[in-house]
Amino acid sequence: MADKEAEKKQAASRAVDEVRDGMLVGLGTGSTAEYVVREIAARIARGLRITATSTSRATEALARSLAIPLVAFEAVARVDLTIDGADEVDSGLRAIKGGGGAMLREKIVAAASDRMVVAVDSSKLVPILGRFPLPVEVLPFAASFAARRLEELGPGPRRRTTSDGSPFLTDQKAYIFDLPLGAIPDPEGLARTLERLPGLIGHGLFLDEIDTVVVGEGEGVRVLRRG
Ligand code: 5RP
């Protein structure tokens, strides 16, 4: 197993230590979240009693295949704990998410959650956000207009495509544009700018949602807590 995969798995396992009997748990999306889901399923098999809700169709299908008791998020008003991955995290527990294109649902589930724990491998820690191209989600109706406005923020926004070249579609059937902005000195200001753009329905900046980050580092883990 590559070191990075080992770190993701260790971080996922430590993050799942936060789960308690009786909780409603939000399940994130991506490869680290997949380790989380598999670990939760293993602990359920050993007696853990929880219900889960999912941030994406892909995670829902995985959780269902592992017999994790699920409730549709449409019927959920509050979640006890969500465990997710991230593409980048800074020392202020601000993150970029959306490499898997699920950040809109991830942000909604995070907002509904009493706590959000993010599990990452050590390569995801950055001194300043922006090495990872920032994903934003755009209604197809607004695609051309949004592309022009996103160009004003920095050159080279790219509409995400699948391996056959067709547009990548989110679970909401919307497009993702990836913005290669480089260092983002003012993520809060950028988030405000993006949130004022009609047709843009989500972005990957998670600035105050995350309470705890579990970082897989070598053979162990490091836990970073807000405040
Ligand atoms: C999906 C996400 C993922 O959490 C993020 O892309 C990290 O994925 P991985 O754990 O596979 O590196 O935000 O929308």
Residue pLDDT, tens place only, 203-213 = 999 999 999 99
Over range 181-197, report the average pLDDT: 98
How do residues 47-99 score in pLDDT, each as one tens digit?
999 999 999 999 999 999 999 999 999 999 999 999 999 999 999 999 999 99
| pLDDT confidence band for 20 (50 / 70 / 90) | very high
Q: What proportion of the chain, given as a percentage, has pLDDT over 90?
A: 98
Query: Does the C-beta of 86 come closer than 6 Å to ligand 1?
Result: yes
The ligand 1 atom nearest the CA atom of 106? 14
Nearest CA to ligand 1 atom 4: 85
Per-residue model confidence (pLDDT) at position 10: 98
| pLDDT confidence band for 2 (50 / 70 / 90) | low
- Backbone phi, psi, residue 49, to 5°: -120, 105
How do residues 21-47 score in pLDDT, each as one tens digit?
999 999 999 999 999 999 999 999 999
- Most ligand 1 atoms within 8 A of CB, residue of 29, 37, 59 to mutate: 29
pLDDT exceeds cutoff 80 at 1: no
Over range 184-190, report the average pLDDT: 98
| pLDDT confidence band for 227 (50 / 70 / 90) | confident
pLDDT exceeds cutoff 70 at 157: yes
Query: Does the C-beta of 102 come closer than 6 Å to ligand 1?
Result: yes
Per-residue model confidence (pLDDT) at position 194: 98
- Backbone phi, psi, residue 83, to 5°: -120, 125
Nearest CA to ligand 1 atom 6: 99
Nearest CA to ligand 1 atom 5: 86
Q: Residue 8 CB: number of other CB atoms within 10 A?
A: 27
Burial of residue 169 (number of CB atoms within 10 Å: 0-12, 13-18, 19+): middle
Q: How high is the mean pLDDT of the chain?
A: 97
